[in-house]
Structure 1
């Protein structure tokens, strides 16, 4: 009896028993996205409305994953710790993601080698995010977002 309880506990606390982030996100039906609301043109308030490159990217990414986007405004110093702890699923930030052993990232999706950080050891989530980014890239949506938000002189010349 004692050995079966020990085996059960070992299974329950093993990394393999942890839920995959993709399953958790799909069960919730929403993607919790941390943004800083004072980093125009990436994310900023237009009146009471949150807008910018990161906001539109988050909406497109959530849509590709068949989820609702849930934007959470977070101070810069709390973003990565919140992603690491699972408070937020991903972070969209104007700065390239710092190399941190505690986080994993998507493939780069933008000029400046920007990538999306999320909790480590979630291969299905990483694959889903990378596939969604690839579809957005192939459809031209990433280029459209960059032209609209990050290269205003390019769109003014058109």
Structure 2
């Protein structure tokens, strides 16, 4: 079969694999769309009409490092992760712990915080992690950490590895996001932010 020269140029665009990467979409827009719930102090919440909190400031820092603006969209847990999965939002920064189940659905940034289930429960009276079933059903479900397997028992001292989920298949975006996160870790800004909101450095795993 012979193809006209012009048709040869069009065929790659018709391939299902020829899609714009999230990296290109974000930088073409000049905007990082960040979904959060805005009701979980000190992670993210509203003071009057103003969004604030650890993860709001983190999102602003990351967007600045990526040379785009941060656009925060307030939503609820029924829409948060499905919205990221569908491309409605670029990322969710909402104290989401990495789990094997979520890794099947999303790619993740490198971790930005290591928080205990006890800390999250204390800071969120509406979402007390009172038992393993509650923990498994929440976005804060813990990644099994060394010496603690939450698949078999609940433990309020367990470490939750918090990271930023985004659509799978976006290596250039992951690289850009991870490099931005690494820069704010390396110069101490992430530690300072953590100490401001938690009075502790949660940017490193507890020993």
Does TM, scored on the shorter chain, surpass 0.5?
yes
Alignment partners' CA distance in 1, 2:98 and 2:24: 24
Over aligned residue pairs, what C-alpha RMSD do you find? 2.1
* 4+ runs deviating over 2 angstroms: 1-5, 7-11, 97-100
Q: Residues 89-123 of structure 1, C-alpha deviation per residue, up to 9 Å, x if partnerless?
A: 01001231442422110111212321110010000
Calculate the TM-score normalised by the size of structure 2.
0.67
Partner of 2:35: 34
SS at match of 1:77: coil
CA contact (8 A) 1:65 1:132 kept: yes
CA contact (8 A) 2:32 2:90 kept: yes
Q: Residues 54-110 of structure 1, C-alpha deviation per residue, up to 9 Å, x if partnerless?
A: 100000000000011000001012111100100000100123144242211011121
Q: 1:140 aligned to 184, 188, 196, which one?
A: 188
Q: 1:80 to 1:73 in 2, by over 3 A?
A: same
Q: 1:103 to 1:2 in 2, by over 3 A?
A: farther
Calculate the TM-score normalised by the size of structure 1.
0.87
Task: Give unmatched runs, 5+ long, in structure 1.
Answer: 153-158
Partner of 1:150: 198
Alignment partners' CA distance in 2, 1:2 and 1:10: 16
Task: Give unmatched runs, 5+ long, in structure 2.
Answer: 115-159, 201-207
Please identify which structure carries the higher helix content: 1
| Structure with larger Rg | 2
1:98-109 correspondence to structure 2 within 5 Å: 98=99, 99-109=102-112
